[in-house]
């Protein structure tokens, strides 16, 4: 228990330092750190015997993207291509819904390593690029504006998680997807959504959303989508772990499991928030 609490304290301090103390390049390195550890843990989940295979693939992909997109320029202008890359994440989060509903049947897709590799890349890459886009918001004007934005989007997920946990505990009756995650209930889901909406309202009042608050309708739609899809992100990781027969994705955080266990919901939340906002705001498609 003590390890769990100590790890949590260190983790929270590290996240706050990453958001509020680090400047943009250091923030980008922190993002790459999460990406790399996530990729390291992802290999076994998608059926690679060696952890290095997927790590190498992911490293090559993100390096090439950094060469092409030059994220250091995000603080001035977000290129259209970066937005499309973030949007590509939705392929997985939408496409995984039928897979989740059918689980534990029809898991044959997992045997195709090339297919699983693409899915895993679409889970990690849009997340990393999305984090860079969010943090860059209004950066030349106010260094911390983007930090509040990232924190808010992440906090939507934390609100949904804890809301679901407590509501599920007290009112939980109807199982949501017992085959994927036996503890999640529909009552919990509803509670999570309500708490997260309250959170969203507070963050809006506190003016945490930077320029994204200029279009309140788009922001609300994006936030609601984020809350719903964060649950899907969680479920998809659970599904991968069940197929691969792995309990914890890693052991980098003593008492809290691996990186992927910590960021599974965020993998969906970040790209969904941005993509839905871009579409609702008329910036994409």
Partner 1 sequence: MIDALGGLFYFLIALGILVTIHEFGHFIVARACGVKVLRFSIGFGPILFKRTAKNGCEYAVSAIPLGGYVKMEGENEILEKNAPLSKDSFKAQSVWKRALIIFAGPFFNIVLAVILLTIINVNGVQERKTIVGPIAPNSVAYNAGFKAYDEIIAIDSQAVSKWNDIFYELFDGFGKDKALLIDVKGDFGKAQTRTLELNLKNLTIERNEDPINKIGLTVCFGKVTNQIGLILENSPASKTSLAVGDEVVSINGMQIESWYDIRAAIEQSNGNELSFVIKRNGNLYSQKVTPKLEYDKRTHKSLPFVGIGAKVEKVEGLSYKVEYGLLDGFFKACKDSVAMSKLIVTSVTKLIDGTIAASNISGPIAIAKGAQESASFGIIVFLGFLAAISVNLGILNLLPIPVLDGGQLLFLLYEAIARKEPTKKVQLALTSIGAGLLFTLMFFAVFNDILGLMN
Length of the chain: 285
Instruction: Supply the minimum distance, in Å, between the C-beta of residue 59 and partner 1.
Output: 5
Nearer to partner 1, 39 or 131 (CB): 39
Nearer to partner 1, 148 or 253 (CB): 253
Instruction: Supply the minimum distance, in Å, between the C-beta of residue 46 and partner 1.
Output: 13
Contacts to partner 1 by CB under 8 A: 33, 36, 40, 48-53, 55-56, 59-60, 62-64, 66-67
Residue 49 near residue 57 (C-beta atoms within 8 A): no
Nearer to partner 1, 48 or 93 (CB): 48
Q: Please give the span between the terminal C-alpha atoms of the chain, in angstroms, as a whole number.
A: 49
Residue 233 near residue 240 (C-beta atoms within 8 A): no
Instruction: Supply the minimum distance, in Å, between the C-beta of residue 128 and partner 1.
Output: 13
Nearer to partner 1, 40 or 273 (CB): 40
Q: Is 47 left (phi over 0), alpha (psi -120 to 50) or beta?
A: left
- Among 28, 36, 30, which residue's Cα sits nearest to residue 70? 28
Instruction: Supply the minimum distance, in Å, between the C-beta of residue 85 and partner 1.
Output: 17
> CA gyration radius for the chain?
18
176 secondary structure, DSSP code:
S
Q: Which two tokens stand for residue 188?
A: 């919990």
Instruction: Supply the minimum distance, in Å, between the C-beta of residue 253 and partner 1.
Output: 13
Nearer to partner 1, 29 or 206 (CB): 29
Query: Side-chain half-sphere of 79: how many Cα atoms within 13 Å?
Result: 12
């Amino acid at each position: 228990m003590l390890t769990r609490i100590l790890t949590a304290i260190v983790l929270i301090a590290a996240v706050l330092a990453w958001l509020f103390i680090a400047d943009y390049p250091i923030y980008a390195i922190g993002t790459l750190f999460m990406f790399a550890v996530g990729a390291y843990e992802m290999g076994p989940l998608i059926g690679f015997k060696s952890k290095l295979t997927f790590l190498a693939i992911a490293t090559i992909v993100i390096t090439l993207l950094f060469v092409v997109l030059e994220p250091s320029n995000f603080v001035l202008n977000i290129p259209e291509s970066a937005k499309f890359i973030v949007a590509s994440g939705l392929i997985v989060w939408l496409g995984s819904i039928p897979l989740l509903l059918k689980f534990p049947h029809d898991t044959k897709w997992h045997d195709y390593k090339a297919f699983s590799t693409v899915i895993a890349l679409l889970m990690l890459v849009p997340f990393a690029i999305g984090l860079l886009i969010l943090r860059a918001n209004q950066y030349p004007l106010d260094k911390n504006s983007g930090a509040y934005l990232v924190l808010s989007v992440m906090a939507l997920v934390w609100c949904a998680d804890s809301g679901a946990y407590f509501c599920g505990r007290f009112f939980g009756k109807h199982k949501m997807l017992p085959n994927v995650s036996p503890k999640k209930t529909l009552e919990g889901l509803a509670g999570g959504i309500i708490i997260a909406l309250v959170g969203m309202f507070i963050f809006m009042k506190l003016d945490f959303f930077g320029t994204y608050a200029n279009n309140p309708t788009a922001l609300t739609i994006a936030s609601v989508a984020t809350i719903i899809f964060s649950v899907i992100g969680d479920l998809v990781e659970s599904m991968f772990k069940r197929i691969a027969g792995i309990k914890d994705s890693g052991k980098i955080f003593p008492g809290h499991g691996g990186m992927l266990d910590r960021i599974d919901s965020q993998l969906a939340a970040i790209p969904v928030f941005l993509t839905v906002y871009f579409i609702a705001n008329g910036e994409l498609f």
